[in-house]
Structures are given as C-alpha cells and as structure tokens.
Structure 1
Amino acid sequence: MNDEREYQKRVLIATSLSYVIVILDTSIVNVALEPVAASLGSDIAGLQWVVNAYTLTFASLLLSGGALGDRIGAKTVYLAGLLVFACASALCGFAPDLQILVVARVLQGLGAALLVPCSLTLINHAFPVARQRASAIGMLAGCGGIAMAAGPLAGGLLTHLLGWRSIFLVNVPIALIGAWLTTRVDSVRPANSDKSMDVAGQLLAIVALGASVAVLIEGAKLGWQAATIRVGAVIALAGWVAFVLVEGKRKQPMLPLGFFRSPVFSASAFVSLISGLIFYGLFFLLSLYFQSARAWSPLQTGLAFLPLTVMVAIGSFASGALNRTYGAHRLVCAGFLLYALGFAGLVALADDAPYWRIALCFPAVGFAAGVISPAATAALMTAVDKARAGVGAGVLNASRQTGAAFGVAIFGALMSAIQPIDAGIRVAVYLATGLSLLGALVWSVALAVATRYAGSDAC
C-alpha cells in the first residue's frame, strides 16, 4: 500500500509540473503583449497570432497526442513533449522577429499537445479508483490554477526586471526538471497495438481549426467582405464537414465520434470549450485594455489580475471536495451561473469605471473557471474506457484549447472592429454572459438525460 502511494505521489508530481508550464505559458504571455508589440513591431492581429499560434497548435494536435500515447506508450510521448516544449521555449526567448516567435509558439503547442493528454493517461493508470482519480485530477487542475494565478504577476515581474524574453526562458529549467522526474515514473503499456495514425483526420483538423481562427483574426483587419476572408470561410466550412465525414468512416479515427453518444462525454467537451472561450477571450481583451486603454505597465497589469487568478487556484483545489459533496451536475451549473454574474458586472469596463468595481467581479469569474475544468474532466474520464483514456483526455483538452483559440480570435476581433473601445467591450461582455448561461443549460439537460436513460453514475 505504501509503495502504491509513493508511486502515485511520484506520478502526480511529475505530471503536475508539466501542467504548470503549459498553463503558465498561456497566462504569462498576456501581460507582456504591449512590450512584445513594441519590440517586434506588431498590431493587435499579430499579438493574437502570438497567443493563438500556441493554443491553435495545442488544440489541433491534442487528439493525435492522446492517440499516440495510447499506441506507443504514455511515458515515452509525455517525455518527448516535455523536451520539445523546453527547446521551443528557448527559441521563443531568442526570437529575433515576430515570424520566428510565432513559429516557436507553434512548436510549444506541439510539445504541449504531446504531454498534456499523456499526463492524464498516467494519472488514470496510477489512480484506478474513481474517487482517488477525481482527487488527483483536482490536484492537477489546482496546480494549473496556481500557475494561472502566478502567471500574470510572474510575467509582469519578469518583464519589468528582465524583459519580455525572460517569460519564455523561465520554462526551460522547469521542463527539464519535469523530464528528469518523468524518468522515475514506470512505463504504461500501450493500450492500443495498432500503430497506424489518422493522418487524414489530423490534416483536416489543422485546416479546419486554422482557417476558422485565421478568418476571425484577419477579418477585422482585412474586412469581412474581402475575397481572402470569404475563401478562408469556405475552406474552414469544407474542412469541418470533411473532418466529420472522414472520422465517421475510419476504423481507428483520431476522434471517435461514438464517444459523443454519451451525454456526459458530449456535455463535458462542450462546457470545456465554452469555458475556455469566454475565460481566455476576456483575459486577452482585459490584458490589452489595461495596457492600452489605461496605459498600465505589465507589472501593474499582473497585479490587477490577482483577484481573478488567485480564485482560479482556490476553485481548482476546492473542486474535488465540492464535486464529492454536491456532484458535478450542481457544481458545473453553479460555476457557469457564477461566470454569468461576474461577466455581467464587467459591463462597468465600458464606462471607464474605477479599478475596484472591476476587481469586485473577478472572484466570481476566477472561482467559476477553477471549479468547472476539474469537474468536467473527472466526469469525462469516468465516461471513457481506460484503453481509450489518452484519446478521451485529448478530446477534453482539445475542446478547452479550441475554445481558448476562438475566444482570443473573437474578442480580439470585437475589440478591433467595434469602435469606440467601450462599445466593443460591452458587446464582448454580453456575449460572455450569454454563453455562460448556455453552458449551464446544456450541462443541466445533458446530465439529466444521462441520469434518466443511461443510469450514469459519472456524477
């Protein structure tokens, strides 16, 4: 028993480190957007690509990362992902121009896509009991919450003291420590002996996601009626249709559409997408708002986000206990209602309100973001067979990262296209509030259907 607990502790430490750098790299970049723009010469669209090159690659390759881990071993793929992430972070730190920085961010997304789903697979195997697994996932999410909380402040401090390049270079030693710890984790036997990969599905996913986000980012700059944007929209739509058709016919698809027959699985993926969209979209918008409209420094911006990000960490750690006490059904619904309440209060942004009025809304948004992700993750992983845990984890994280990419693209487009800036902010806040209510409704209906007709005990 003690040996098992020691092993579980070792796995949890190793996987938590990887999750920390993935989340840290998402939140730490936002407070350095203005210095990056000044150093490399970039407009809002360029900054959107700096953020989205990472999240877009992360989202589009997550499914393949999970499937690859199921085929050749989660530990092997996880370790490769950490090393790729470390090298890419170093390249980001030394990037001479915007183009190289975006390419390096793509490589960071590749590394993250390999390691994140495999970290959940390692946890799934190390914690076979559902209740223990939920607690472990909650701890993992809690570490991510700490990284989210520390990211803006750490980014502000590093940028203030050492310049924006240091926010990427800080990932290198953390990743290398994580790689060393991973060598002490036992290998997990591949769950799927079929070594074939769904190349067609992967390429179509990249085309569909990339074209969709490109249209949203560039549409505000080039004009929504531009021929390039129209062609991009057609390519995006054709890519999504072809992706669904191809995945429905393959024997070993990258995205098994049969997973979505489970209401719990479908609802978990959907609410993860919505949560990522509204949280990261508003996070990007607020970062630009504080630094551009209010002329705050990166350090001031990082400090301004503390009431939001600290509550993400608290919510993540509290999610496991709240899930056991109240169940995922009530917890996720309550989280989205908190989202709606917090976002509704942020309408004050459009009126150039004092900071304290804005900060009053942050705890509700942060706590909601913290509790939703681990609750939805635990529910989804319970609904997936252990042999397909890597693919299941990939779907969940792909949903969240796809939402984040769309959020940055959509809210950035609103900020660029709707002037004056207070009008764009008001539309963005109303959109976030409406999507929050939609998330609560979809989750409630899906879980009710699962309980009534499938006898699901996932909650």
Structure 2
Amino acid sequence: MTGTTAAASQSTIRRIIAPLALAQFICSFAGSNMNVMINDMSRDLGTTVQGIQLSITLFLLTMAALMIPMGKLTDNIGRKRSFLIGLVVYGVGALITAAAPGLWAVILGNSLLEGIGTAMLIPPVYILTTICLPDIPTRAVAFGIISGMGGVGAAAGPLIGGLITTGISWRAAFLFQALVIALILLLSRSLTDPLPADPKRPFDTVGAILSALGLFVLVMGILAADTSVPLMLVLVLVGVAILVGFFLWVRRRERAGKVPLLSTSLFRVRVSNLALITQNLQWVILMGTSFTVSAYLQVVRGYNAIQTGVIFTAATVGLLLTSLLAGRLARRFSQRGLIITGFVLCVPGVVLLIALVEGTTGGWPFVPGLFLIGAGLGLMLTPSVNVVQSAFPERVQGEISGLSRSVSNLGSTFGTAIAGTILVANLQRGGEAYGIAMAVVAVLGATGLIAALLLPRTATASAGGPAATARPA
C-alpha cells in the first residue's frame, strides 16, 4: 500500500511539475537571453543600446507591476485558466517580437505582451504547486525543481540566446520561446485546478492601478538618470508618493471591511519580510550582473553573442552544480544557512568580476566571479521561496505568491535598471563605468547578506519544512 501511494505521489509530481517548471524556465530565460543580443538587435532595428535596455527593463517591470494583481485575479478566473491564458498571450508576444520591424514592435511583443503573459502564468505555477501537493516535504521538492528551473533559465539564457543568435538570428530566439510555449500548452492538458473559480470575488481595481503605476514611475525614474538627474529625482519621488498612496488605500479598504489588493497582514511576519528582501536582492545580483557584463563585453570589448554566452557558461555550471546538490544540502543545513552561504559566495564573486577584469583583455578573468555567483544563487533561490511560501496558510497563497514573484521580478528590474543605467550612461568611460556598476551590485549583495543573517534560526530549521513557526513581528 505504501509503495502504491508513493508511486501515485511521484506520478502526481511529474504530471504537475513538467508544465509548471518549464513555464518558470522559459519566463526566466526571457529575462536574460536578450542581454547577449544587444549589438545584433540594435543594428537590425536601427536603435541604440539604451533602446534595448529600455525594452528589457520594461519587460521585467511589466512582470513585477502586474504580478500582484494577476495573483489576485487567479481566484476570479481560476488558476489553470489564468495559466493557459498567460501562455497564449506570451506566445503571441514572442511571435510579434520575432517579426519586429522596429523597436516599437519589440516593446509591444516582448516588453508588454510577454510581460503580461508572464504575470498571468507565474502566480498559478506556485499556487497550483501548493494546493495540489499538500504535504510539506513533497511541496518542498516541487518548489526546489521549479525555482531551480527558474535559476537555470536565467543563468543559461545568455548561452542559449547566444548560440541561437550567432547560429541563426536573434529573431529565432523568440521563435524558440514560442515553440516552448506550445510544448507547455500540450503538457498542461493533464493539469487540474482543485479549487473552483469565484468570478464574484471582489477585486481592488484602484489598488491594482496605484501599485502598477507607482512601480512604473519609480523604475522610469531610475532609467532617466542617464539623461537628466532632476527628472530622475522627480520621477522617483512621484513613484514613491504613488506607492505610499497605494498602501494608504489598502489600509483604508481593510478598515472598511473590504478586500484589498494586498493585505497588510502579509508584512507582519518578520521571517517572510526578511526572506522577501533576500529574494529581491538575489535577482538584483543575477540580472544586474548579467546585463552589465553582457553589455560591457559586447559594446566595449566587441564580443559577439556566442562569445558572450560562452563566458556566462561559468554561471550556469555553478548554478546547476549547487542546484543538483540542493536536496542533499537541505537535509544537512538550515534554510537560513543556505541563504547566508549563497550571499557569501555571490558577493566575493562580484568583487572578483571587478578585480580580475581590470587591465585584462581575454574572457577568462570573468569565469571565477561568474561561477561563484551562479553557485551562490543555486544554493539560495529555493530556500528563500520556501521560507516565504510556507510562512502562510493556503487561503492566502494567491496573495503571497503574487507578492513573492513581484518582489523577485522587481529585483530583476532594479538590477537591470540601476547597474545597466550606470554602465550605459558612461559607456565612453569603458572599464571605469563597468567597475562602478558592479560595485553597486556588490553593495546590494552585501545588503542581502545582512538580511539573511537577521533571519531567525528557529523559523528555518530545515529546508524541507515550513517556516510556519514564524510569528507576526
């Protein structure tokens, strides 16, 4: 009987995980593969490095801004339906981008449609995993696979994108995404949604608009730094003001007994707050490093897409190595310990990318730093997600999943916007601009390490268990 139950459990995991993990992979891949196409796309589309950076950042921003509203909408339209609609929207966006005659079409197809599609399909990935796999150890394994595939997608994006771009065309990379989406749609036929949709569930439209608008204006302010510092300051302040207005609106709805877009109770669990910070800064490191190193290699040193992608293999190998060991390490070390170790590897990795590259001409000096960053991220991506998701009951998994994914994607957005803007605005200064951009990434990584050190030991006893012992701060 036990053997039959175990076999059924394994069958359920495979049936659920295959489409969900592949979906996380392709969305993460989309966030990093364009980094190695900067020269090819800018030449073909008649635009600039700033134009390509804008499209990449807008893609990441669209995901981040819409992740919370889309996470809430899954309750109204159903988890599986949201997942499938998101796949279709994403696929259409990929096809439009593949045929793009100019930058405007890339922004429409990639930045907007692929961003919207990702925001619709990613929350159901984590919600369906949670509600379909009720026992914590099995769920932890599933989260590990899904988060690991996300990390692999982001780390391998430059290599795969470089191979396709150099071997065929940058447009073929988007056709590749469309083909993967088609495969996921086929695999999704076996997915089931245990909970019925509730179309009458209240939806906070004003809150959704305020949160999305605030994040958009804030990030656009960061991007404006290379053109006008006064404009940057104005936009950043306006963005912050709108986000403050959003939280005041949420509190007002809660006090009136109405359902807000985002419950303030989600921010009353100290362990989850700290884990969300580590999540955000992990993706700052990954995407900030990916864009800055890629842009520097292509624009300053003249590397092509495949040469750039091959150098990034070091990060992919490091991430795969530690991801494969994650299950074994999880049985021996706490989630807190793995997150701390991850940052301890990442921060020196960024420092090496600054120190070893100075005064060199080849690609090998990038390898040690990228390997350490990949290895560190492989260790801590899954524990951070586990801590956040497991800190809350199933009834709020839609909210916390949307918040968690939004925070991670904001990290990707900030990494590309902040480090990328520092580099792009000072490309004429070459290595000096690269060093400053990477130094900012190192400081933000050190901030993540501090947040990890503040995680309570009692709430993270093992990577396989929940963080349910966390108490409101």
TM bin, normalised by shorter chain, reads over 0.9
> What are the superposed Cα offsets for residues 39-60 of structure 1, whole Å, 9 maximum, x if unpaired?
1122232111121121111011
1:42-441 paired onto structure 2 within 5 Å: 42-105=47-110, 106-190=112-196, 195-220=201-226, 222-225=227-230, 228-250=231-253, 251-348=258-355, 349-352=357-360, 354-418=362-426, 420-441=429-450
Q: Secondary structure at the match of 1:165?
A: helix
Structure 2 CA distance for partners of 1:360 and 1:229, relative to 1, 3 Å: closer
Compute the displacement of 1:214 (Å): 1.1
> What are the superposed Cα offsets for residues 140-198 of structure 1, whole Å, 9 maximum, x if unpaired?
12222333343222211211122111111111121112112212111231486752222
One-letter amino acid matched to 1:415: L
> What are the superposed Cα offsets for residues 303-337 of structure 1, whole Å, 9 maximum, x if unpaired?
11101122223333333432332011111011111
Compute the displacement of 1:253 (Å): 2.0
Q: Is the 8 A contact 1:48 1:217 kept in 2?
A: no
One-letter amino acid matched to 2:417: A
Aligned residue in 1 for 2:464? none
One-letter amino acid matched to 1:397: R
Structure 2 CA distance for partners of 1:103 and 1:273, relative to 1, 3 Å: same
Compute the displacement of 1:458 (Å): 6.7
Q: Is the 8 A contact 1:69 1:390 kept in 2?
A: yes
Q: TM-score, normalised by structure 2?
A: 0.91
Name the CA distance, whole Å, in 1 between partners of 2:380 and 2:214.
27
Compute the displacement of 1:120 (Å): 0.8
Name the CA distance, whole Å, in 2 between partners of 1:231 and 1:146.
37
> What are the superposed Cα offsets for residues 280-317 of structure 1, whole Å, 9 maximum, x if unpaired?
01110111111111111101111111011222233333
Q: TM-score, normalised by structure 1?
A: 0.93
Structure 2 CA distance for partners of 1:456 and 1:124, relative to 1, 3 Å: closer
Q: Is the 8 A contact 2:275 2:455 kept in 1?
A: no
Q: Is the 8 A contact 1:75 1:188 kept in 2?
A: no
Q: Is the 8 A contact 1:284 1:412 kept in 2?
A: yes
Task: Judge which range, 434-443 or 393-402, deviates more.
Answer: 434-443
One-letter amino acid matched to 2:319: V
One-letter amino acid matched to 2:181: A
Name the CA distance, whole Å, in 2 between partners of 1:150 and 1:347.
22
Name the CA distance, whole Å, in 2 between partners of 1:67 and 1:403.
21
Q: Is the 8 A contact 2:147 2:381 kept in 1?
A: yes
- Within the candidate set 5, 30, 37, 2:35 is matched to 30
Name the CA distance, whole Å, in 1 between partners of 2:372 and 2:196.
41
One-letter amino acid matched to 2:61: L
Task: Judge which range, 326-335 or 20-29, deviates more.
Answer: 20-29
Name the CA distance, whole Å, in 1 between partners of 2:358 and 2:176.
35
Name the CA distance, whole Å, in 1 between partners of 2:327 and 2:154.
18
Structure 2 CA distance for partners of 1:347 and 1:191, relative to 1, 3 Å: same
Name the CA distance, whole Å, in 2 between partners of 1:389 and 1:457.
17
Compute the displacement of 1:90 (Å): 0.6
Q: Is the 8 A contact 1:44 1:412 kept in 2?
A: no
One-letter amino acid matched to 2:224: E
Q: Is the 8 A contact 1:19 1:144 kept in 2?
A: yes
Percent same amino acid at aligned positions? 26
**Residue ranges of structure 1 left out of the alignment (5+ in a row):** none
One-letter amino acid matched to 1:175: I
Q: Is the 8 A contact 1:73 1:188 kept in 2?
A: no
Q: Is the 8 A contact 1:70 1:388 kept in 2?
A: no
Name the CA distance, whole Å, in 2 between partners of 1:448 and 1:146.
28
Compute the displacement of 1:10 (Å): 0.3
**Residue ranges of structure 2 left out of the alignment (5+ in a row):** 462-466
Name the CA distance, whole Å, in 1 between partners of 2:118 and 2:403.
14
Name the CA distance, whole Å, in 1 between partners of 2:260 and 2:330.
32
Report the count of equivalent residues.
454
One-letter amino acid matched to 2:236: A
